Amino acid sequence: MSEIKASVSPDIVWHSHVLGKAQREAANGHPALVIWFTGLSGSGKSTLAGALEQALFSRGIKTYLLDGDNVRHGLCSDLGFSETDRRENIRRVGEISKLMVDAGLVVLTAFISPDKKGRQKIRESMKEGTFIEVHVDTPLEVCEARDPKGLYKKARAGELRHFTGIDAAYEAPEQPDIYLDGSQPVGISIEKLLFILKNYGILPE
């Protein structure tokens, strides 16, 4: 696929609605923001994001989880796995996340999102304090041992090209908002996340 360039016609004007993010946050009783999980395939991103969503939901927080595989069944079904397409995939997820934050939700995303610049663009496109980057740092050998989808095995055999961590680079966050050791038990990481999220006003002290 050739390079995808997003552009907006000068004839298209953003329409501001009467109801906005502030009113929806007030109705929900908590701020709206994005919790962006990034890490290698098999690092535990989806597991942790899913567990956190359940924990937040059980506490009355309005949430929605965007998962890497799920968006490729619809929103990004026209994209492949070239570097250009993967960047476009993340760009689209960032735009959807912004709309969901405007709707007053706490949005959780679980994407490898290997490109540091792509993650930074999403952060810069949002209001300060509404993008929380969570780095699930798991050693490559641990991810390979897990290999829940058999993707590392295919990549090592040359059946899968441009696979992050094998023949494609992963640019780890240098200063993530939250750092998690993906080798630790899920329960410990969720406790840490819930404790930190109190500082963002999502949960009561």
- Range name among 2-11, 46-55, 102-111 with the lowest pLDDT average: 2-11
Task: Give the chain's mean pLDDT.
Answer: 91
| Residue span of the structural domain in which 76 resides | 28-138+170-199
- Report pTM: 0.89
Q: Is the pLDDT of residue 41 over 60?
A: yes
Tally of domains in the chain: 1
For the stretch 56-94, pLDDT in tens is: 999 999 999 998 778 888 888 888 888 898 899 999 999
Is 205 part of a structural domain of the chain?
no
For the stretch 17-35, pLDDT in tens is: 667 889 999 999 999 999 9
Is 33 part of a structural domain of the chain?
yes
Provide the CATH number for the domain around residue 50. 3.40.50.300
Can you say which residues are annotated as belonging to the binding site? 39-46
Report the largest interatomic distance among the alpha carbons of the chain, rounded to a whole angstrom.
Answer: 56
**E-state strands within 47-200:** 63-67, 106-110, 131-137, 178-181
Is 154 part of a structural domain of the chain?
no
* Section 104-130 average pLDDT: 95
Is 155 part of a structural domain of the chain?
no
Is 36 part of a structural domain of the chain?
yes
What own/partner pairs with CB < 8 Å and gap ≥ 24 does 156-160 have? none
Can you say which residues are annotated as belonging to the binding site for ATP? 39-46
* Section 94-98 average pLDDT: 96
Is 118 part of a structural domain of the chain?
yes
Q: Annotated active-site positions, please?
A: 113
Distance between CA atoms of residues 161 and 180, nearest Å: 28
Is 6 part of a structural domain of the chain?
no
Q: Is the pLDDT of residue 159 over 90?
A: yes
Is 147 part of a structural domain of the chain?
no
Per-residue model confidence (pLDDT) at position 31? 95
In this prediction, what percent of the chain has a pLDDT beyond 70? 92
| Residue type for position 128 | E
